[in-house]
A and B are shown apart, each in its own frame.
Chain A
Amino acid sequence: MDDTFRGSYEPYISPCDPCPPVLVKTFSLPPQLFMNFQPASLPQFSPAEALQHGSLWPALVDGYSKREGIS
């Protein structure tokens, strides 16, 4: 995972919270948020890599894995 496309915050934790607290919550800030109009001539994947990633441009790929456990 690339941390560049994740945000995080420390939620308020009450001493009375019943479940063990999650001290830091993470959320997605996907690349399209930071690119209002895609610049020309961005670096490109090879066709085989592009097919695997779902995008021709690495700049648009942030990926997601179950292990991140964003809650």
Chain B
Amino acid sequence: MWVYEKKLLYPVEVKECNPKLARYIAEQYGGADGELAAALRYMNQRYTVPDKVIGVLNDIATEEFSHLEMLATMIYKLTKDATPEQLEEAGLGPHYVNHGHALFYENASGVPFTTTYIQAKGDPIADLYEDIAAEEKARATYQWIIDVSDDAWINDSLKFLRERENVHSLRFREAVEILKDERDRKKIF
């Protein structure tokens, strides 16, 4: 169960209409290394990892949803009231034809989200290493979005989100260390 707070994790200030930037941010919204993939991955893997690290997956998955909400706010506001012509110019013509002004879980190229982006292998080490890799890939994606964005306000929020990837990566690495400490314990039983 979750308790919802009607506010964003970190402020999102959108000062100007910029559909092209919205399109780029979609990579983190519905892309392979995006927040949706991360949230769904951890929320699902948590059932079959050792008890000691369930909480890490649960808490990070929850935070990823709050990141998703920040990205949704950016995309919504960057495209709100944009004309079909403006959207077409930003490469969002096909998006407009299919979804109008609605948001959709797709990457920057318009490829719809698929669960083939994520895995649950049922092997704690394999799953945690995937999670570490996912955080690093998300960090890199934020870097490249910041590289192509000249919106200082959006970039401030993106930098916050990028830093969270660093923190999460370390938490997953710590989870691996916790499991390594479980080595040999079987002999006690």
Contacts and interface: CB of A to CB of B under 8 A. Distances in A.
B111 interface: no
A28 interface: yes
Contact of B186 (A26, A28, A30, A34): A26
A27 to B, nearest CB: 5
B51 interface: yes
Interface string A1-25: 0011111111110000000000011
A3 B182 CA distance: 11
A33 interface: yes
B123 interface: yes
Nearest to A6: B186
A7 B51 contact: no
Interface residues of A, number: 19
Interface residues of B, number: 16
Secondary structure type dominating chain B contacts: helix
Interface in B107-157: 123-125
Interface string A23-47: 0111111100110000000000000
B180 A34 contact: yes
Contact of A33 (B50, B180, B189): B180
Contacts of B124: 7, 27
19 contacts: A3-B184, A4-B183, A4-B184, A6-B183, A7-B124, A7-B184, A8-B185, A8-B186, A8-B189, A9-B52, A11-B50, A26-B186, A27-B123, A29-B125, A29-B179, A30-B125, A33-B125, A33-B176, A33-B180
Given A7-B183, A7-B186, A25-B50, 7 more contacts: A3-B184, A3-B186, A7-B180, A27-B123, A29-B182, A30-B125, A33-B176
